[in-house]
Amino acid sequence: MACECPIEAITAIVGRRGIASIGHSQATYAEAETAVAAGARLVTHGFNAMSGLHHREPGLVGAALTDDRVTVSLIADGVHVHPAALDVAFRCKPDGRVVLVTDAVASRAGRAGEVRLVHEGGAPRLADGTLAGSTVTMDAAVAYVVARVGVSLERAVRAASTTPAALMGLADRGSLAPGRAADIVALDPTTLRCTETWVAGHQIHG
């Protein structure tokens, strides 16, 4: 939700054991910090459609990067966020406070519901050029931050699996251990693209 929404909305979500996420907002730094103080713990699509970092008004990006209470989600598709900005996020946030997301939409059909989409410049867009999701897959996002941003493979994998599982309170997944859900992918050691997939211990691909 936007930070400008009533704080009561955040407290209501948190009170029901939900995760309040802030983003797509032109909030000031103070407004963002008020939302975090109310219980917001995730920033949706870091850097995108939100107030940027200015030296006198750090905005939502400034709060997202410096407040360790919040986790920042990033779309690492080479379109939504410049590699340097991704690097800034990974450098600013402690381990366990960055989540890779795809924001993928089924754009091949040329529409999402009633909304017409065109694929241009590496991502789905509205007719006026506005970004409307992505087509990146999670393995490609991991490969991108490793190759283009210099993030370690271990940290990239945690951002794609362990961290989001912990954020969601899913204790049965996010790591390889006895008793955990055996939802696993194997990545090619060179390209880091998915070569095999298991769901609940059963191989379904590869």
Output the CA–CA distances (angstroms, integers) from residue 176 to 70, 158, 161, in the order listed. 25, 12, 11
* 171: three-class secondary structure by DSSP: coil
Q: Strands of 98-101's sheet, edge to edge? A: 21-23, 42-44, 71-75, 98-101
Tokens of 25: 């907002």
103 is catalytic: yes
Only one residue has tokens 């600013």, namely 92
User: Which listed residue (103, 128, 139, 172) is catalytic?
Assistant: 103
Q: Compute the distance between CA of residue 101 and CA of residue 97 in angstroms, rounded to an integer.
A: 13
> Would you name the residues annotated as active-site residues?
103
